[in-house]
Every structure is written in C-alpha cells, then in structure tokens.
Chain A
C-alpha cells in the first residue's frame, strides 16, 4: 500500500508505458480500478460523482420545499396552528442527535485518514447508533400524531389506534380543532420527514457496509474514499433536517 503515494506522484509522462501492456497488468494498488491511472484521479472522480449526486438529492427535496412555501403563503394560519401540534422538544433532541452524528462521521473520516482502523469503526458505530436514536424518537412522534388523528390529507382527523399498523376506525375520533387546511401541513410534514427518514435508513445500511469493509481492513491512509463519501452523504441528511426542523416545528 505504501507504494500508492509514490504512484500518485507519477505523472502523465509515465502514462503510456504503464498501459502499454494493457490494463490487466497490475499497475497499482489493488483498490485502484483498471480505468484510472492514479489514486488521486480515482479519488477526485469519486468525490466529484458524490457531489453531483448530492446536488441531485437537494433538488429532489426542493420540490417539497417549494410546495411548502406555496401552501404556507396560502394558508399561514393553518400552518401556524398545525405547527404547534409538533413536539419541539423531540424535534430539538433529534436535531442535536443528528448534529452530533454528523460530527462523529466527520471524525471517522479523519481517523480513517490517519489509519486508525479501530477508532474509525467506533466512530462509525456511534454515528449508526445516533441514526437509530433519531428513528426511535421519530417513531414516538409519529405514533403520537397517529393517535391524535394528525394524519396527512384525507386521513386527517381519523385517529389510528393500536400502533403504527392499526386499522383506521370508521367513525371520526377526536378531531383536533385546527384551522382549515391544516391537513396539508401534515401531508407535507409526513412527506418531508418520511423521505428524510428513508434517507436515514439508507444511511444506516451504507454505514454498516462501510463498517464491515473497514473491519476487513480495506481502508488505509492511502485509501479512505468510501468513508469520505458516506460521511458526505450523512452530512447531507443532517443538512436537510436542519432545514426541516425550523420550517416544520418552529414557525409562528
């Protein structure tokens, strides 16, 4: 692996010779894919690809942000009163949990760069634990809304009993006294936080995969790209929540 750094410095001058025999010739460290010339090129490509992907993610969320903006300007009172139904303490707790997990993810990248394998694993596991805490808090928040009948769209005002997958009763239960159109707020609340939670779940999966690869010794001072990229993804998940929290919980 130590030859990687020197390989990275080899310039395009040696480019032709290194390929003269074709790409099945072992021309670098084992993690260097056949179509890249240097580890630096591979790292830059991976990073650029990830940033392009994250830009795409932001635009994906932009649709619901636009919808939020429009409906909030149309129904300000509904949004204000409905927002008060959300649990600010739980939301704030989740914000702190996610911010902390973003920090541990960043630290995991640093420890990976320093070649501290064990420390990287620990930090990534803390990140995963935070992600689970976030989802558990979310579960309790959702459950409360389900019981109170604070549901999206046409299910608004129809409380669900018996946990997340309980049947919807026929009669109107306790309908919250909110301004008209409050159901749109809850539609947006569930769509926005639901898609975000989906990203958290995907993040947990990817983080576990990185932990496994790290444990098998795949990463080193020279090669830590996947750790870097998953941390970038995790920062995006954090960033989106940072926008969702004030928009949904803190408006007045």
Chain B
C-alpha cells in the first residue's frame, strides 16, 4: 500500500454519507466490528454489559437458591464460594463499572457536547477490545475452576487457594486499562470538543457526572492495576509484600485494594446520579434546582472518594486515630450526596411530573439510594461497624447503592435513550410491569437481608442457624421476582427492536441537546454543528420547535 494512504489518519475510510442515520450509514458485521463511531461502540458495549449482567444475575439467582433452605440445596460449599465470587467479579468489573460510562456515556456524551465523536475514536475502539480481552481472561478463569476468594481477592487467602486466581486477576487488570482509556478519552472530549457556545455552566449534568467519573477512573484504576499485578507476582515469585510468612503485610493489600475500590464505588454511583438528573429534568419539565451545586457535588464525591478507603478496614487492624479520621471523612460523603437528593426533590416540587417508565426508575433511584446512603452512615460509625461488619447488613447496604443506585440509573437511562439509540419505541405498559417487578423484587430481596444482617447473619456463609431461615426464604423469593422483572424488561426491548413503533425525534419533549438531532442520530451526530445558546434544562428559553415531539 502506498505511503499516501497509510499516513493519512482518516477516521472513515469509505466516506459514507454523514447525514444518513448511524445504523444505516454503513452495513455489514465488519462495519460494526471496526467502527470508529462512538455511537456504534456504545451499542457494542451495551450488548456486552447486558450479557455480563445476565451472567452475573444467573450466579446471583444460583447463590440465592442455594441459601433457600439450610444445608445443601443445589451446590456444595466449594461451588457456593465460587458462585458468589463470580457473581461479584462479573457484576463489578464486567457490568457495573463499564455500564453507564462506557455504554450510555459513549453514545450520549459526544452528542450532548455537540461534538462529532469522542476525542480519540481509535482509542475508544481499542478500549472496547481491551474490555473484551479482559472479559475473555475472566471467562477462562470461570471454565478453569473459577475463583473462591470473593471479588476482593483478599490476601493471604488469594495467595494460597488452589483456584484459578491469576487469570481472573489478570482479567480485572486488563479491564482496568479499558476503564482508564475511556476516562482519558472522555476527559479530553469534554475539555476540547464542546460545541460553540457550550460553556462549562451550560454542560448537561450527565456530562458533569461522567467528567467526575473519568477523573476517578484515571486516578484510581492504576492503583488497582499495580495491586493486582503485585498479587500475581506474589503467587508466582512469593514476593513477600503481602505474605506475612515472608515478612509482608496482608492488610497492605486491603489498603491498596480499597484505595481503588472505594473511589470505584463513585465510578458506579456518580454516573447513575448523572442519568437521574437528565430524566428528572425531562419528566418534570424544569431546570434542575441548584445546577452548579449538583455539578460540583459530583466533583466533590470524586475527590472525597479518594479519602475514605480506610472505612473498609475498621476491623482489620488500624490505629484508633486512623479509624477516627476515616470515620469522620466518611461522613463528609453525606454532604454532596444530600445536595443531590435535596436538589432532585426540590426539582420535583411544582414540576409538571410525568410518570413514564424512565421517571419511575429515576424516582426508584432516589428512594433506594437514600436508603443505601443512610445505611452507609451506620457502617461509617466505628462502634456500630464492629457489630455490622461482614454481615448481611453490609451486603444489603451496598446492593441498595449498586443495584438500587447504579442499576436503576443504568436501566432508567436505557429506557430514556432507547428511542434515540434504536429509533424504536417500546411498550410503556410492559415497561411499567417490569419496573414494578424489579422494584418490589429488589426490596423484598434486600430488606430481608438488612434485618438478618442486623441480627448477626454473617455474609458469604454457606449455612446458617434456623432463626435466619425465614429471612433467607423471603430474600430468595424476592430474587425470583427481581429476575422476572429483568426478564420482562429484556423481552420488552427485544419486542421493541422487532416490532416497535418508529420513534419521533423527541418523544419525551425534552429541551436537552441530544433530542434536537434526528432519531436515530446521523453518522456525524448533527446535520449542522449546533451553536449552544441556552442551558440544557432551560425549558423557559426552549422554542416550541425544540420541545415538539416531531
């Protein structure tokens, strides 16, 4: 091939019509696999994370089924250890962390900025394939005997166990790179590719959320990477860094691990909050109250996330002064979280509320996240944490944050942007049935866990005392309702793809920028590069044409 063609870094070699919608502009499976279009990459991520969610969900149902009755139900203790570990690893690393930023963010972020693409489209595609590559390692570990350490890979057990730790840890390490590169890409895109007139104070709050998330991804993930690498080397070479037998410190692993994994909690929740902002503004037809406070609270969460990792180690042997400092810092997280919740509630006040399915998920988010957040305060309190540490109370708390928060945000965002992504409408009735099942099922599953946790049922145990049986039964039945809800949702989306009605440009009547471009968006996102003259939630400034559903 000639030098002239190899040296020209053109993103679209075949020059398809940029005004054709992105689904039709290019055809064939290869046009998807090598695409540089952020929208198609977003869709590929979406399919991948939904697959991961299904796998992680299947493990969850298996774990709950095993605990339905005392003693052996469907698996032995060893299989149980592997099942709950795989549930955690798959859900955290393959689903929750990439779900909103990489899937929804990839699709929506450049459109909300009025940009044609993310700053580095090839890096974006590479991030996707790195994610897939990491997932392959995780998959290899699963078929090769899986891991029984819990998703946290705590030393010294993870150095000793005969299970397949190294491929799983390498998988998480590789997926970390994907996360870092996506973060870098988004940071630069937000800084450099905003449309003319889009100042920082006119950025949609979804962008502020993803921007804060990207900072965490870039600054926290490398610490996990080196930690996992050290763990691998510890297994290979017996470094002695984490191995107490050789003079090392297993608690150092926990410090390193949570230095990433606590900020990672905000990689999970901040994008969920960001989605909720968009949905609430659209379905109340109001500007989010205290725009700047909400935007800055995302940044505050990102920064505080780095200072509170020690609250995971209250009972692991830290000096009491350190625990007090970490406890105090942990309480600070309540401030930006509270800012968000109060501003959402204030926005709802006197808003013209429409209870369509995305809004139901957004309201569920507020309700469930509030429970998750408030129970976090119990755990941040030193004396109470000693009692609740490693009980089902903790399990219920972080499921209220991760499922009640992130998953509700993700699913709500998926409902909200589904017409924009696919050009199809879904059955609102079926969506509401699915929402009802998910909401009820989730609460039944985890409220039972709060109660048994506060009564001392330890997490991760294969068997339990008779007095906990009723709670486990209720929790397991809840998990079936929850599973049925997600299956209904999946069926609804598949039906929508096959035979859904064609969506209009702006089915929700939103003032936000992504709804001003045709549905589905053209390859270049906008037929004409937009000039931004008003904020994304300025419903009083939006024109009739902008709000019209056509």
Task: Give residues in A with beta carbon < 8 Å to B.
Answer: 12, 15-16, 19-20, 22-24, 30-31, 33-36, 41, 44-45, 48-49, 52-53, 55-57, 59-64, 66-67, 70-71, 74-75, 152-155, 180-181, 183-184, 187-188, 190-191, 195, 213, 216-218
Contact = CB atoms under 8 A, between A and B. Distances in A.
B8 A30 contact: yes
Contacts of B118: 35
Contacts of A31: 7-9
Interface in B112-167: 115-121, 123
Given A24-B15, A154-B238, A184 B247 contact: yes
A33 B15 CA distance: 13
A123 to B, nearest CB: 21
B290 interface: no
Contacts of A23: 12, 18, 116, 524
B240 A153 contact: yes
B16 to A, nearest CB: 8
B223 A34 contact: no
Closest 8 CB pairs of A and B: A154-B238, A63-B226, A60-B222, A22-B18, A153-B238, A35-B116, A187-B239, A35-B117
Nearest to A37: B529
A91 to B, nearest CB: 21
Nearest to B238: A154
Interface of B: 3, 6-12, 15-19, 115-121, 123, 180, 183-185, 187-189, 191-193, 196, 218-223, 225-227, 229-230, 233-234, 237-241, 243, 246-249, 252, 256, 524, 527-529, 531
Nearest to A68: B241
A70 B121 contact: no
B192 A45 contact: yes
B8 A41 contact: no
A63 to B, nearest CB: 3
A70 B247 contact: no
Nearest to B255: A66
B345 to A, nearest CB: 35
Given A153-B240, A154-B238, A187-B237, A35 B219 contact: no
A67 B253 CA distance: 10
Nearest to B245: A154
A67 B252 contact: yes
B188 A55 contact: no
A75 B196 CA distance: 58
A154 B226 contact: no
Nearest to A75: B247
B223 A62 contact: yes
Contacts of A20: 528
Contacts of B230: 63-64, 67, 191
A113 B533 CA distance: 38
A12 B194 CA distance: 12
Nearest to A64: B226
B219 A56 contact: yes
A82 to B, nearest CB: 12
Contacts of A154: 237-238, 240, 246
Given A45-B188, A184-B240, 5 more contacts: A30-B7, A48-B191, A56-B221, A70-B252, A187-B239
Nearest to A33: B11
Contacts of A34: 10-12, 116-117
Contacts of A66: 256
A203 to B, nearest CB: 17
A74 B117 CA distance: 51
Contacts of A217: 3, 7
Contacts of A195: 229
A33 B528 CA distance: 18
